[in-house]
Amino acid sequence: MPEWKNRISAIILLILIVHLPTLTSAREGGIKDPIIISGHPDYPPFMWQEGDRIVGVGPDLAGIILSGLGKAYQSRYLGPWKRVQETARYGKVDLIAGIYRNIEREAYLEFSEPYCQDPTSVFVEKGKGFAVAGREDLVNRRGVTLFGDSFGDSMDRFIEKELRMARVYSVDKMIDQLLSGKAEYLFFGYYAVRISANRLGVGEKLAVVKKDLVVENFCFAFPKRSPHAALLPKINRQIRRLRDEGRIDALIEDHMNRYLHKAH
């Protein structure tokens, strides 16, 4: 081997020897850092923003489980839902506290077992309803839902190809679009819309024409880049235990009452 190649090899080896302890400790430090939790900022009772934190059923359940595993954690508000997902894609958040599973998200997230079901409903302005037996009944009608939300792969494809669906950035704006006549129906999570409508004082103006057009499951999700994704088997065991004990149902009831009380 030429002398200059020997010198380059020696320099590279020296750099690796000098920096290997630093690289190792950085990796270990990442695992020891608090687990950063975030989620949807406008999806009560499962998740919503309070100041610089995300609170609700998902963050509380994650906190109960992580505390039981001896793990430190922090809840952080990171912006609109679409931004939270992009942040997770690039590994800047450790745990999404509630998200539907679909093919696109499986490319960059590792999912827990479901911890609860979430019905997605069709709401109309009271007195302006129409029959909805299935999703085909929405064709040629003006709908509104939220940017960044998924309703499962099948429904997502149907919305894209078949429906006239506008998207906005908040539940309040969806309700405004419906009651102002800009949309004929609102398509979103049953609990989130009912709670937000009651908070706005317009609960009596909305009617549900199909409560369970889609029923999806809420899961926790770790970015594949997160070193904490290895906790998933332990988290799944705790989800099963807490669900069987009825504690998740109790959390949902508690946070529905908490959000409505907060709104008044």
Q: List the single range of 8-17, 32-41, 130-139, 143-152 with lowest mean pLDDT.
A: 8-17
pLDDT given at position 62: 98
Together in a domain, 93 and 35: yes
Q: What stretches of the chain show up as alpha helix (H) in DSSP?
A: 3-32, 57-68, 81-89, 103-106, 153-162, 171-179, 190-200, 232-244, 247-263
Together in a domain, 52 and 84: yes
Together in a domain, 238 and 176: no
Strands 35-38 vs 73-75: parallel, antiparallel or unpaired? parallel
Q: Per residue in 168-200, pLDDT tens?
A: 999 999 999 999 999 999 999 998 899 889 889
Structural domain harbouring 98: 30-117+218-263
| Residue 58, domain member (yes or no) | yes
137: left (phi over 0), alpha (psi -120 to 50) or beta: alpha
pTM: 0.74
DSSP for residue 241: H
Together in a domain, 232 and 108: yes
pLDDT given at position 143: 98
| Residue 243, domain member (yes or no) | yes
pLDDT given at position 81: 92
CATH code for the domain of 101: 3.40.190.10
Distance CA(133)–CA(116), nearest Å, equals 24
Distance CA(110)–CA(84), nearest Å, equals 15
Rounded average pLDDT over 210-226: 95
